[in-house]
Structure 1
Amino acid sequence: MADLKRTVLYDLHVELGARMVPFAGYEMPVQYPMGVLKEHLHTRAQAGLFDVSHMGQILLAPKSGRIEDAALALERLVPVDLLGLAEGRQRYALFTNETGGILDDLMVANRGDHLFVVVNAACKDADLAHLRAHLSDTCDIAAVTERALLALQGPAAETAMARLVPDVVDLRFMDVAIRRWDGVELWISRSGYTGEDGFEISVPEGFAEKLARKLLDMDEVAPIGLGARDSLRLEAGMCLYGHDIDETTSPVEASLAWAIQKARRRGGAREGGFPGAERILSELETGPARRRVGLRPEGRAPIREGTQLFAADSGGEPIGQVTSGGFGPSVGAPIAMAYLPADLCEGDIIHAELRGRRVPARIAALPFHQPSYKR
Structure 2
Amino acid sequence: MSATASALLTTPLNALHIELGARMVPFAGYSMPVQYPQGLMDEHKHTRTAAGLFDVSHMGQLRLIGPDAAAAFETLVPVDVIDLAIGKQRYGLLLNDEGGIVDDLMFFRVSEQELFVIVNGACKVADIALITERIGQRCQVLPLPDQALLALQGPQAATALARLAPGVDQLVFMTGGDFDVDGIDCFITRSGYTGEDGFEISVAAHDAEALARKLLAQPEVQPIGLGARNSLRLEAGLCLYGSDLDATTTPPEAGLNWAIQKVRRTGGARAGGFPGADKVLGQIDNPASLSRKRVGLIAKERIPVREQVEIRNLDGQVVGVTTSGLLAPTIDQPIAMAYVEPALAAIGTQLHAMVRSKAVPVEVAAMPFVPPRYFRG
User: Following superposition of structure 1 onto structure 2, how do residues 168-207 of structure 1 map, counting pairs within 5 Å?
Assistant: 168-207=168-207
Secondary structure of 1:111's counterpart equals: strand
Structure 1: which 5+ runs fail to align? none
Amino acid of the structure 2 residue aligned with 1:308: E
C-alpha contact (below 8 Å) 1:50/1:223 kept by paired residues? yes
1:234 corresponding residue in structure 2: 234
* RMSD after superposition: 0.9
Distance in 2, Cα, partners of 1:269 & 1:183 = 46
**What SS does the corresponding residue of 1:178 show, helix, strand or coil?**
strand
Aligned partner (choices 16, 28, 31) of residue 27 of structure 1: 31
State the 1:268 CA deviation.
4.5
Question: Any gaps of 5 or more consecutive residues in structure 2?
Answer: none
Q: Is it true that 1:352 corresponds to 2:353 in the alignment? A: yes
> What is the Cα deviation at residue 140 of structure 1?
0.6
Counterpart for residue 134 of structure 1? 134
Return the alpha-carbon distance in structure 1 between the equivalents of residues 79 and 49 of structure 2: 34
> Is the CA contact 2:165–2:182 (under 8 Å) kept in the aligned structure 1?
no
1:83 counterpart residue number:
82
**Maintained 8 Å contact 1:13/1:29:** yes
8 Å Cα contact 1:79-1:94 kept in structure 2: yes
Which residue of structure 2 lines up, in the alignment, with residue 43 of structure 1?
Answer: 47
Q: Deviations over 1:274-297 (max 9, x none)?
A: 001011101111112321110001
Read off the aligned partner of 2:33 and give its amino acid letter: P
CA contact (8 A) 2:48 2:154 kept: yes
Structure 1 runs, 4 residues or longer, greater than 4 Å off: none
Give the deviation of 1:136 after TM superposition. Answer: 1.1
| Letter of the 1:325 counterpart | G
| Structure-2 residue corresponding to 1:165 | 165
| 1:301-326 Cα distance to aligned partner (Å, 9 max, x none) | 111100000012x543x110000000
The 5-angstrom pairing of residues 1-375 of structure 1 reads 1-62=5-66, 66=67, 69-112=68-111, 113-287=113-287, 288-312=290-314, 315-316=316-317, 318-344=318-344, 345-375=346-376
- Equivalent residues of 2:265, 2:272 under 8 A apart: yes
| CA pair 233-268 structure 1, distance change in 2 beyond 3 A | farther
2-side partners of 1:86 and 1:128: how far apart? 24
CA apart distance, 1:184: 3.8
Structure 1: which amino acid aligns with 2:54? F
How far the C-alpha of 1:183 sits from its partner, in A, is 4.1
CA distance in 1, matches of 2:138, 2:183: 33
TM-score, length-scaled by structure 1: 0.97
Quote how far apart the aligned CAs of 1:182 are: 4.3
TM-score (norm 2): 0.96
Total equivalences in the alignment: 368
3-state DSSP class of the match of 2:326?
A: strand
